[in-house]
Structure 1
Amino acid sequence: MRGVNYLTNERGIKTAVMIDLKTYGDEVEDFLDALEAKSRKNEVKEDASLVFERILNKKKANGGL
């Protein structure tokens, strides 16, 4: 595949890949975004309105608003 090169170890086993970002930059970014999302799958989720309220309250308490 043009723009993709595999690195192999001394036994010829593929161990890494080099991808031309000029050619496949958008695809690589999408792939990495998907990995990031998958890694956060089991994180505790919070309601956005509660997060915003907590931030605003903290700013008010610090004299920011």
Structure 2
Amino acid sequence: MTGIQFITNQKGQKTDLIISLEEHGQIAQDLLDSLLVEERKNEDSIPFEDFVTQLRIEGK
């Protein structure tokens, strides 16, 4: 596959990945979005309506 490079350590183990954003930008963005969702899945949340109300109270 073009636009993909693996970086290996001295033992030949793959440690990093370089992705061409020109060729695979949308896939990279989707991956980052998925990682953010996973990272934030246990955060507290509020209903959307409460969020909008709070923004209005703050004049935003």
Amino acid paired to 2:37: A
CA shift digits 1:5-60 (9 cap, x unpaired) = 1001111111101111111000000111011111111111101111121222233x
> What is the alpha-carbon distance in structure 2 between the residues aligned to residue 42 and residue 17 of structure 1?
27
Aligned residues: 60
Runs of 4+ in 1 over 3 A off after TM superposition: none
Deviates more, 1:14-23 or 1:47-56: 47-56
- Is there any run of 5+ residues in structure 1 with no aligned partner, and where? none
Larger Rg: 1
- State the Cα RMSD in Å: 1.4
Partner of 1:2, secondary structure, is coil
Give structure 2 stretches of 5+ with no counterpart: none
TM-score, normalization by structure 2:
0.87
Map 1:32-47 → 2, pairs under 5 A: 32-47=32-47
